[in-house]
Amino acid sequence: MSRVPVRRRVPLRLAAAAAATCALTVTAVAPGAAAEYSRPYTETYRPQFHFSPAKNWMNDPNGLVWFKGEYHLFYQYNPNGDTWGDMSWGHAVSKDLVHWEELPLALPHDDEEMVFSGSAVVDHGNTTGFGTAENPAMVAVYTSHFKDGGKQAQSLAYSTDRGRTWTKYSGNPVLDIGSTEFRDPKVQWYAPTRSWLMTVSLSTEHKVRFYSSEDLKSWTHLSDFGPQNAVGGVWECPDLFPLPVDGDPERVKWVLVVNLNPGGIAGGSAAQYFVGDFDGKRFEPDDDGSYTPPAGLVVQDFEETDYGTWRTTGTAFGDGPVPAPEPGTSGTSGVEGKGLADSFHTGDHETGTLTSPPFTVTSPYLNFKVGGGRHPYVPGSVRGDSPAPPGEVLADFEQDGYGSWTATGTAFGDGPASGTLPGQHEVSGHEGGGLVNTFLGGDATTGTLTSPEFTITRKHLNLLVGGGRHPSGSEAPTAVRLVVDGRTVRSATGTDSEELNWVSWDLGGLAGRTAHIEVVDENTGGWGHILLDQVMLSDTPARPRSTETTVNLLVDGKVVDSATGADSGNLDWVSFDLRAHQGKQAVIELVDLNRAGWGHIMADHFVAADQPAVPALRRAHWVDHGKDYYAAVSWEHAPDGKRHMIGWMNNWQYGNDIPTSPWRGAQSIPREMALRTVNGRIRLTQRPVSTVESLHGPSVGVRDVRIAEGSAPLAAGRADGKALDIRATFTLDEAERFGFKVRTGDGEETVIGYDRKTQELYVDRTRSGAVDFHGDFPGVQRAPLTPRNGKVALRVLVDWSSVEVFGGDGEAVITDQIFPSPDSDGVRLFAEGGSARLDSARVWQLRPYRG
């Protein structure tokens, strides 16, 4: 996948580190090099039956093809580190989609290009001339990401020895439209026209483009599809394939999968899909994506030249609404009518508010559209300057050198920075003229800065912190630590922003202890730096400054509901539930207090209505409702005629920060895809490949169990384990919520439940072990699931660092990473709000695939 587009602003230094799509490079690697890839399968969090490389970074699956008895899995790979970079194609093969053998690097990056995502085909007809009729070539069609200028174009490489060594085509690139956002070709043989069909992404335009070729070298444009449904992030890694409906070969529909980042159903990365018809040239979805929101009283539509009775402060919103741009002429979309409120008045550096006059709440819902930056309202934050409470200043970094502080490495230089460093976006929020800033020479520099020891004499330690969000416990942190007796007792990090903000550490229980502060920059990737200023001991905690870009509803002067953008120029519907505030006085307030990237808010068309508006996010169809299923693509030429799909089991929100080593990244279990009629609609369903059963070890089964309110071990603890295949059926009873708790242990649990009222399957990983390495990781993911005949069926795959939950007939799927303690291996049943009934359950222990 690729990086998120930046709307009307200069990209951050992360541009390269952004969720890179896929890169591929061509060289032959000696088969003997595979020896270094042996692995013990004993590392903490090491997947036991999901593919992960022995070491280094992996993301998108690429080049999925079956050839001569092997399923090939290529994948985005960094051969030089465990965060995104130097994108190349790694390689693994399997005979059954379960037992994998990791092979040497297939297509490495080089001085000219990185090898981004793509696909592979077997050229049985030798249309390219790369092979022979007796020995057809395997051909990789990949995106060349050229390092000079960032252009993306489609290129070829070929292999005549079952993918073990590769040659880059001398005529590359074979498809170049001069774009920096043109990637991830999925190629297949289209039999009706006896030609190759390419499905490729125009990422920031939210379009999928179709091309045809007779030889994989010369391509003809057929048509475009999109934008439609979820467009809150870039479109990447598309896939197109036919499937029979309900197993009827006479009734075939086509499925178009489009991966999206950010803007997924659970936040960040996700895979959406469309069902429709394809005639060899054009894809027509069954649902055209149109939507009419509920009618109501228009409160404000921003169609006039000024704001009328709405009042502004600051400069961000200007004197009146912004005219809606012509479609396709800017990064803004989803505007209703002629104008909108937009705080990107002259740039992200401006701040201000836009507030409605007071009104009496009489309608059940307030519907409106919102877009722009993703900077939520934080209760307790302070607007404007938030000076530190009085106290003892340990360091203000106003001197020429670091004084008694000790620096190592190259990141800190000889003394404090005077503000923004060369190549850095504007730094703000510090006090005075100096601060610690490790963007010295860029993100590649590393080092430490250590204070002298001091005695803790106050209740709080307040400090201004900014920069990268790489927590202290991660492998490559950018963090500030409080160290007592050689142990880190408090830590803080930035929020991927150059704006410093107050952090306050409660020092309760540490009075009189000797401590020191360590500033650590061990990260060389995107946002690989830390900012620090104004370190103070105080008896009063500092309150953080608000950096929100929000639409707030205030009742009696208090914020009772709030919405923010998704770091996207697309405006989508949001609904505030007003039913608890009937008859009260309220105001609507648009707030922009952010000067950093995406530091603006957009809003339009406020309507008081009797029904809530449904955002495109919820109207779209999702392959998986979890946080960790992205770049989903399927295998070509499968010998059984089935359609098998796999996805990268991670999310670009925190993908570089997950606490695994020496590898980072895993693939989902391969899944068999189908189209089935569910509740009168054609839905994409999935189930784990049947060969998972080859990993089955001992099992235990139970039947007809009444689950009292609370929780209890399943099968008296005989079902406990860290790698499991669980199949169960529940009957709806009086319980409001029921299901399983897996990987339970000392304060840890991952909850896999069903909510009877909302008719949703859910996974709660807020207490799943290590969850604090990134703010977007803990949470609850939900998927709609209608009971059948009063029953709910679940299939759960538990691994050392993941859960994959399949509800019903596979129409509801949630994939989430988890990072529990190795000692947390319990499995429990639970019920809330009454009792529940488990009809039956069987749990198999799963053996590792030992790749």
Q: Is the bond leading into 615 cis (omega within 30 degrees of zero)?
A: no
- Separation between Cα atoms, residue 197 and residue 278, nearest integer Å: 12
Q: Look-up: residue for tokens 């042996």?
A: 38
How far is the C-alpha of 37 from the C-alpha of 31, rounded, in Å?
Answer: 12
From the list 145, 121, 143, 119, the residue with the least C-alpha distance to 239 is 119
Catalytic residue among 60, 561, 628, 816: 60
Q: Please answer whether residues 401 and 576 qualify as being in contact, where contact means their C-beta atoms are separated by less than 8 angstroms.
A: no
C-alpha–C-alpha distance, residues 598 and 9, integer Å = 8
| Contact (Cβ atoms closer than 8 angstroms) between residue 499 and residue 539 | no
Helix (H) or strand (E) holding 671: strand 671-678
Residue type, 680: G
DSSP characters over 203-235: GGGTEEEEEEESSSSS-EEEEEE---S--SSEE
The first and second tokens of residue 828, run together, are 């429990």
Instruction: Tell me the three state secondary structure of residue 581.
Output: helix
The helix/strand/coil state of 657 is helix
The SS3 call for residue 713 is strand
Tokens encoding 28: 């032959």
Cα(500)–Cα(494) distance, rounded to whole angstroms? 8
Strand bridging mode 56-67 / 663-664: parallel
If we measure between CA atoms, which residue out of 681, 614, 668 comes closest to residue 804?
668
Q: Which helix or strand (DSSP H or E) is residue 618 part of?
A: helix 616-619
State yes or no: is 60 an active-site residue: yes
Question: How buried is 38 (Cβ within 10 angstroms: 0-12 exposed, 13-18 middle, 19+ buried)?
Answer: exposed
Beta bridge partners of 391: 538
SS3 of residue 33 by DSSP: helix
Could you tell me if 266 and 571 are in contact, meaning their C-beta atoms sit under 8 angstroms apart? no
Distance, in Å, from the CA atom of 819 to the CA atom of 47, rounded to the nearest integer, reads: 11
- Collapsed DSSP state (helix, strand, coil) of residue 270: strand
Burial (CB < 10 A; 0-12, 13-18, 19+), residue 715, is middle
Going by the DSSP 8-state scheme, the letter that residue 204 receives in this structure is G
Dist CA 634 CA 643 (whole Å)? 7
Most distant CA pair in the chain, distance:
82
Task: Kindly give, in sequence order, each residue whose CB lies less than 8 Å from that of residue 408, ignoring residues fewer than 6 positions away.
Answer: 447, 448, 449
Rounded to whole angstroms, how far apart are CA atoms 98 and 693?
9
Which run of H or of E encompasses 194? none
For residue 105, the one-letter residue type is L
Ordered DSSP codes for 726-776: EEEEEE--S-SEEEEEEEEETTEEEEEEEETTTTEEEEEEEESB--TT-TT
Residue 686 contacts residue 672 (beta carbons within 8 Å): yes
Residues 429 and 432: their CA atoms lie apart, in Å, by: 10
Coil, helix or strand at residue 616: helix
d(CA 435, CA 413): 12
Q: Which of 96, 145, 117, 274 is nearest to 648 (CA)?
A: 117
Compute and round to an integer the Cα radius of gyration of the chain: 27
CA dihedral of 612, 615, 621, 627, whole degrees rounded to 10: -110
Residues that are catalytic: 60
